[in-house]
């Protein structure tokens, strides 16, 4: 299965922050949408980074009290790990494991953003594929007997 198949059912809506928004704005946005990360995008829509719950906790631990008023760009991860729609789910899972990330922006061949997937999206896809395969095997065994 490829990432494009996940995006087809999940959709390609991506929650983003502006570079001038605060850590508190980011935390509220993540809580409101019940997500673990949001992309940080410039005024022209360009990707500047990603801000995750892990980034916020790490930033707060490093900077102490008063961090909620700092800009999200101070805590975001700038080195984005991205994938393409044709990336296999197994490849994406491996990339997440080796790079220790839980969210991957999906970019087209021209570098345009087409969606974002989480570890939860990938696990769900793998479980659904395993269940479908088990059902097909069950059907095969019943029809062969």
Token pair 């999940």 in the structure block, residue: 10
The per-residue pLDDT of the chain, averaged, comes to 93
What proportion of the chain, given as a percentage, has pLDDT over 70?
99
| Cβ atoms of 74 and 22 closer than 8 Å | no
Q: Does the pLDDT value for residue 145 go beyond 70? A: no
Structure confidence by residue, pLDDT tens digits, 67-91: 999 999 999 999 999 999 999 999 9
CATH superfamily, with its number, for domain 3-144: CBS-domain (3.10.580.10)
Pairing of strands 47-52, 37-41: antiparallel
Report d(CA 87, CA 92) in Å as an integer: 7
pTM listed for this prediction: 0.86
What was the pLDDT predicted at 7? 96
What was the pLDDT predicted at 113? 96
Say which residues have a Cβ less than 8 Å from residue 66's Cβ, sequence separation at least 6. none
Nearest in space to 76 (alpha carbons), one of 52, 92, 100: 52
Structure confidence by residue, pLDDT tens digits, 101-140: 999 999 999 999 999 999 999 999 888 878 887 787 888 7
What was the pLDDT predicted at 138? 81
């Amino acid at each position: 299965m490829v990432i494009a198949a996940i995006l087809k059912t999940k959709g390609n809506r991506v929650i983003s922050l502006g570079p001038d928004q605060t850590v508190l704005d980011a935390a509220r946005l993540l809580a409101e949408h019940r997500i673990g990360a949001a992309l940080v995008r410039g005024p022209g829509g360009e990707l500047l980074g990603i801000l995750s719950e892990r980034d916020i906790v790490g930033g707060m631990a490093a900077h102490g009290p008063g961090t909620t008023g700092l800009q999200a760009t101070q805590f975001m991860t700038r080195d984005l790990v991205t994938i393409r729609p044709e990336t296999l789910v197994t490849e994406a899972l491996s990339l997440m494991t080796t790079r220790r990330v839980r969210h991957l922006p999906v970019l087209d061949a021209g570098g345009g953003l087409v969606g974002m997937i989480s570890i939860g999206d990938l696990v769900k896809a793998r479980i659904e594929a395993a269940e479908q395969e088990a059902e097909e095997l069950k059907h095969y065994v019943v029809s062969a007997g």
